[in-house]
Each structure stands twice: as structure tokens, then as C-alpha cells.
Chain A
Amino acid sequence: MYQIHVQGLTKSYRIAERQPGMVGAVKSLFHRTYRDVDALRGIDFDISRGEMVGYIGPNGAGKSTTIKILAGILVPTGGRCVVNGVVPWQSRISYVAQIGVVFGQRTQLWWDLPVVESFELLREIYKVPNNRFKTSLAELVELLDLSPLLDTPVRQLSLGQRVKCDIASALLHEPQILFLDEPTIGLDAVTKASVRGFIKEINRNRDVTVLLTTHDLGDIEALCRRVIVINDGICLSDSSIDELRNQYVHEKHVVIEFGNSPCLESIHQDDVLKSEGTRITFLCTSDISDFVAQMTSRYEIKDITIETPPIERVVTELYESSK
């Protein structure tokens, strides 16, 4: 039984078109034209309890739209979506008590209140029993190192501090599922690492299911065994990172450090990407073990490294190919 079940999900937004100029303005007083934007055009996926899944795609792909539907904020145009056995937008109140949502771009906290008072208010809103709240809060404060921030009004927090507080606030009521929409946007390397560590920790300790959108593929590599790629409202792929790599990139870079300057006549010049003295980078599209065997048999070799292409290239290729 899947915890999150999404099938044929579609969502279109209706947008009033504006005509330019004064004549257009007068005209639109009497007649408006509308345009439908299909943000989702049939998304399918299933996620089991405790999984940590990355949800990626270029700008405007429909990631946030999916998250908002799953969070019960938006009602989809069509398709099925069942989470924890309920349809999010139909039984909103009982449903949202079981989930936590973070939008990295926008805070869910009260702008003028000190962080700790926001948390108190959330305790009241989610009806969390006092002792449970205390232990939960203590754990979050420790893991995210929030104690120096607790008395600061939210509007005075830096972006990174605010995101941390937002993440904590989404977990105070100990939800089973966590939706994160670009949680690491605008964070520095250190904060990013700590947020990633935290998400991993929470996923393991509390067995929380995590669905995470991001543009930073480092997040995905650090956290998710599984990635769903969408573009233009449809799923392009749903697999592990390694599969994704293998599937879309059939070439590897082999860097060989030769003992002495090799005589390369016997090697196809096309395959040489870079040549720096005795250190040469080859592009290998055939079987890699054959290639290495061939080389070692012919030349004196000090060192061999096989580079997998960076995930960014994989994803770029994937986005490009789907256009």
C-alpha cells in the first residue's frame, strides 16, 4: 500500500488576457478573453512510507503546483490523488494535521512574532499536547541549532535562519509526511549542509516520508535515492540517480596519467578530450573495461581515474531532450 498515490493528475489555470493600449482596456471592460495554462498534464507516481524522493524539473515545470495539490491547497482539474488514505482537498482539516509543508520562498511564520511565540501558536493550532510539544521542540532546536534565534521576531531573521525556523515549524506536530518546496534556495554551503543533514536525520529517526523539490542537484545527491523528473507537466523519468545517469549518459571520461610521454598514433585522436603532458583525458563510449585493458597492456600507466559526468549534465540533457 502506497502512502502517496498520484494518478493522471492534471491542473490548468485560467488566466485573463490583457489587451494592450487604451482601446484594449475599454474593450476588455465588455469582453474578456481567457487562456488556459496546463501546468500539469497527467502526473503519475507512488511513494511508500519512509521514502525520500526528489522532484525536479526546470522552471515552470509544475513542481510547486504538484506540491500544492498534495498539500490540499489547490484542487486539481483532474486525476486521482490519495495520501494517507484520504483525498487532500476533501478532508483538509484532518489531513493537514498529518503533514508538514515548507515553501522555501515564503515563510509560514508570523512576521511580527518572535520565533518561539510562533511555535507556541502553532502548538495551539495543531493541538499538540504540551509534553509532546516540549520534547519535539527540544529535539528540533538542538538539531537545527535554533536556540539563539528563538526570541527574535521573524522579520529580523536572515534568510537561512528563517528557513531553518520554517522547517522546524513544519515538524512541531510530528507529521508523517514532509513536503519541501525548494528548501535550500538561497542558503550558503554550510547552512545547506546542515539542512540536508537535518532532513536526513528526521527521515531516519521519525520515519518521515519526504518529497522535495529543488534546483540544487546537490540536495538530490545528498538525500534522495529516487528522483522524479518532470517537465511541462509530464513525468520524464522516475528512477534512482544512478539509473538516471546510466540511462541518459552512455559516455565516461577516463583520465590516464602515463609514466612517460605516450605515442598516441595508435589511438583515435577524436577520443582525446584534453592532453596535458603525460596526463590525458579520453572520452570512452565503448565498453570501459576493454578500453582500460587495452591501455594497460600497451603503455606504462601511473594512475587511472574514471569520471562519471556531473548530474547537472545529465539533467540538462534530459530537460533539453524533452523540449
Chain B
Amino acid sequence: MTALALKSYIAVVSTRFRTLLQYRIAAIAGIVTQVFWGLMKLMVFSAFYEVAQNQPPLSFESIVAYVWLGQCLFALFPYNVDPDMRAMFNSGSVAYDMLRPLSLYAYWFSRTLAFRTAPTVLRLVPGLFFAFVVLRLVGLDEWVMPLPPSFVAAFSFFISILLTVALSASIMMLVSISMFWLIDSRGMVNLMAGVVWVLGGMIIPLPLFPDWVQPFLSWQPFRGLCDIPFRIYSGDIAGFEIVGELVFQLAWVAILVLAGVWLMRRAQVKLTVQGG
């Protein structure tokens, strides 16, 4: 079963990679967009930081890292649904898959992972090149992406990003499975995207929200998408705190995966009872 999951993962990554590469202009456009967006955000943040009266909860350097990481990695976040999977649910051909005696969850989970990783790789490389190198060359030093302050930070960032990918895929799985009960899933996916963007920290870094919403923000799962890994990277989350945050991510992955498996069982039961 794992072999099958792995195989499908590799197959999806490579086909998706190839289709993405075919669209040359789209690829370039994606990179330009991501750079443009990053610069624009940084300009807005600098404007606010220049007028700040009290010490903001994040240093400007952390903001820079946060923004660039967000731009480079945003394809990882669960803001859209694999069109193949949507087609499968909409056409009802999902019924065949569901009746097969293998862990469908693992199979689709790996597909979802693949769907997220291929475009990320394509954007990560030029994005980082811009953030690290080009900005320095053109003299915009204040916006150059900083390096992690320590090896521990770098290493834990890497672990945390892996958990982000898992978290993202498990959220997507929940959305995908729930499409089974919805006739029109587009509205649902749109709402989902909005929630992910705000609560994950893609609109603005979560610590910048007013202090009175912080208790709520710190417990919701979407924080594990951007906020935790990005702040580990910048050293804003450091020391023993890192362990706590990684456990937090892991716990949410476990909860969401279990919820997904359970929901999928329900779908399967519904299928066998009603015949699809």
C-alpha cells in the first residue's frame, strides 16, 4: 500500500511538473507576481514600521523573512483543490475508487502532497534567488531575505516545513472528502481559501493582529501553515519553545488526518448503502 502511495506520488509530481513547465509564460508570470507581491507588502510594512510609536511584536527583519517565505512557499498552502480530484467527485467515478480494498486515504493523501509540492519547487528556486541575491545586487539591502540566526533555527525550520506540508495536505483532504456531500464545492473551497489566508498569516503576520485576538489565533490549526515555520526561521520562536510549536503542528496533523479517515469511512458507508 505504501508502495502504491509512493508510486502515485512520484507519478503525479512528475506529470504536474511537466505540465507546469509547458506553460512558460505562466511560469514566468507566477514568479513576477510573487516578487511583485512581496515587494508591495514590504513597502506597506515599512511605511507602518516607520511611524511605529511602540515596539512592534516582530522585528522588521522577521517581517522580511516572513513575507519572502510566504511568497516562495504559498503554493504549499491549501487554497485550491486538485482539479482531478474535484472531477472525480463531481463525476461520481469516485465510487469505483472507494470500493477498492486499499487505504484510499493514504493514496489520495500522497496525491495531494504531490499536487502541492510540484508548483512549490518551481517557485521556490527563483523566488529565493530574487530574495537573497537580486535584491542585494540592486541595492535594496533592507529587504534582502535574512539567513536563519542559528543552525538549530534552520534545522527546526526544515522539520516544521515538512509538518506544514502534511498539515496542508490533511486540510485539503478534509475539503476534498467533504465535496462528496456537497453538490457545488467551489463556494466551499473559496471560503476555505479565505480562512487559510487570514488565519495562516498570509495577509499579515499573526503577531501583528491586536493583542486581544492573540489567544484565539494561537490555538487554531492554520497557524501551523505559515506562522510557526516562518517565525522559527527568523528566530522569533527559539529555544525550547520550538519543540512546543512542532508538537503543536504534529498534534493538529494527527487530529486532521484522523478526522479525514473517519469522514472517508462515512463516505464509503454512504456509498455502499446507497450505491453512490
Residues of A at the B interface (CB closer than 8 Å) are 18, 22, 25-26, 28-29, 32
Contacts and interface: CB of A to CB of B under 8 A. Distances in A.
B22 A28 contact: yes
B11 to A, nearest CB: 13
Q: State the majority secondary structure of interface residues on A.
A: helix
B106 interface: no
Contacts of B14: 22
A86 to B, nearest CB: 36
B60 to A, nearest CB: 35
A32 B22 contact: no
Nearest to A21: B18
A25 B27 contact: no
B18 A32 contact: no
A28 B24 contact: yes
A22 B14 CA distance: 8
A25 B122 CA distance: 13
Interface residues of B, number: 7
Interface of B: 14, 17-18, 21-22, 24, 27
6 contacts: A18-B22, A22-B14, A25-B18, A25-B22, A28-B21, A29-B21
B114 to A, nearest CB: 15
B21 A32 contact: no
Nearest to B27: A29
A26 to B, nearest CB: 6
Contacts of B18: 22, 25
A18 B18 CA distance: 11
Contacts of A29: 21, 24, 27
7 interchain residue pairs of minimum CB distance: A25-B21, A25-B18, A29-B24, A29-B21, A26-B21, A22-B18, A25-B22
Nearest to A18: B22
Most buried by B among A18, A25, A32: A25
A26 B24 CA distance: 10
A22 B122 CA distance: 13
A28 B22 CA distance: 7
Contacts of B21: 25-26, 28-29
Nearest to B24: A29
Contacts of A25: 17-18, 21-22
Contacts of A26: 21
B17 A32 contact: no
A28 B17 CA distance: 13
Contacts of A32: 24
Contacts of B22: 18, 25, 28
Contacts of B27: 29
A25 B19 CA distance: 8
A29 B24 CA distance: 6
A27 to B, nearest CB: 9
B164 to A, nearest CB: 26
B119 to A, nearest CB: 14
A29 B26 CA distance: 11
A28 B21 CA distance: 8
Nearest to A30: B24
A22 B27 CA distance: 16
Given A22-B14, A32-B24, 4 more contacts: A22-B18, A25-B21, A25-B22, A29-B21
A26 B19 CA distance: 11
Nearest to A26: B21
B13 to A, nearest CB: 11
Contacts of B24: 28-29, 32
Contacts of A28: 21-22, 24
A25 B24 CA distance: 10
A86 B172 CA distance: 58
A26 B14 CA distance: 12
